A and B are shown apart, each in its own frame.
Chain A
Amino acid sequence: MKQFIPFLLIVIGFSVPLNLQAQQQYLTRNGIITFDSKLNSFEPVKAENSSVSAILNVDGGEIAVLALVKGFSFKNSLMEEHFNESYAESDIHPKTTFTGKISNFDIQDSKTCLFSGVLSFHGVEKQLNEIPLIVEIKNNRIGINGEFQLVVSDFDIKVPRIVRSKIPEKIYVSINLDLEKLNN
């Protein structure tokens, strides 16, 4: 039996930190990101992606969010086609990501937290600083909700002159993540 004790200690030694690390991650595959021009036009530029993935590491407040560009659906299918082919070029740049950190995150406390990190879209990386989003701590779940603005020209998106009046300079992005505790 004594021969097995060091072996057992090694097994426990390896499994405990792995377990702790696993408990501190929250994730979702069904997050929602919407972007909206909020212009009163006949056909508003508005799309929603409801299969956004996100992983939050509670320990350090690090977060990674990934949305597949082809997952954005528009009411108007022709607008969706133009978005994918001409503006977002989703065959060349299939994903948009955000990797960053929540500066004042506290697992015990629901409050507005500040998100800083790098947003990548259309092959362009843009540093975002202190974006305020509401973090709601629920039982084994964490909700992240809020809205922020982006400038279209920051992402190297070429808008033909003929449609320039229809494409807004600023776009409102709203995010709604319901992260679930990783159980294993």
Chain B
Amino acid sequence: MRKVVALIIAFAVVSTTVYVCFFLDRVAPSIELSSAELIYKFSMDNTSNKSNLSENNILLSGAVTTVKKSALIVDKKIFCKFKNGISDVKVGDTIRLLGKFIGYDELFQEYKLNDCSIVNQ
């Protein structure tokens, strides 16, 4: 009987460790950048830097230059697509938003962030 209890406890400890190491670790941390810093980081010819951008959530701050139905353009260069609609944002506002960097759009010459949400100042 004791062996069974010990086995169950050991299994619980191992599975908790595995969960903590592999799954909690997957919650992407965020890095805070301005538009210029994002563009500079992307322009550097360094793949680890580029994957660093897409593995983390980006906390971007900048000035709104265009407002669309479910997207904003920040500093004329960063296209930020929102999960939901946007309210109370005007051209000229300075904002902070959290989003996922997906890459550079050569057609529009813009950097794209997906799944954005506005972060309170």
**A residues apposed to B, CB below 8 Å:** 27, 29-30, 50-51, 53-55, 64, 66, 68-71, 73, 77, 91, 94-95
Contacts and interface: CB of A to CB of B under 8 A. Distances in A.
B63 to A, nearest CB: 19
Contacts of A73: 114-115
Contacts of B115: 73
A69 B105 CA distance: 11
B106 interface: yes
A77 B47 CA distance: 22
18 contacts: A30-B70, A50-B81, A51-B81, A51-B102, A53-B107, A55-B107, A66-B105, A68-B102, A69-B103, A70-B54, A70-B103, A70-B114, A71-B102, A73-B115, A91-B50, A94-B103, A94-B104, A95-B106
Contacts, number: 53
Nearest to A78: B26
Interface of B: 26, 47, 50-51, 54, 68, 70-71, 79, 81, 100-108, 110, 112, 114-115
Contacts of A70: 54, 100-103, 114
A97 B85 CA distance: 27
Main secondary structure, interface of A, reads strand
B112 A51 contact: yes
A30 B71 contact: yes
B71 A64 contact: no
B93 to A, nearest CB: 20
A29 B102 contact: no
Contacts of B112: 51, 68, 71
A73 B101 CA distance: 13
A73 B70 CA distance: 17
Nearest to B54: A70
Contacts of A55: 107
Contacts of B26: 77
Given A29-B71, A71-B102, A94-B104, 9 more contacts: A29-B110, A51-B81, A53-B108, A68-B102, A70-B102, A70-B103, A71-B112, A91-B51, A94-B103
Contact of A29 (B51, B54, B79): B79
**Top 6 A-B pairs, shortest CB-CB distance:** A70-B102, A68-B103, A71-B102, A53-B107, A68-B102, A94-B103
B101 to A, nearest CB: 8
A71 B114 CA distance: 7
Given A53-B108, A71-B114, A30 B81 contact: yes
A111 to B, nearest CB: 26
Contacts of B107: 53-55, 64, 66
A66 B106 contact: yes
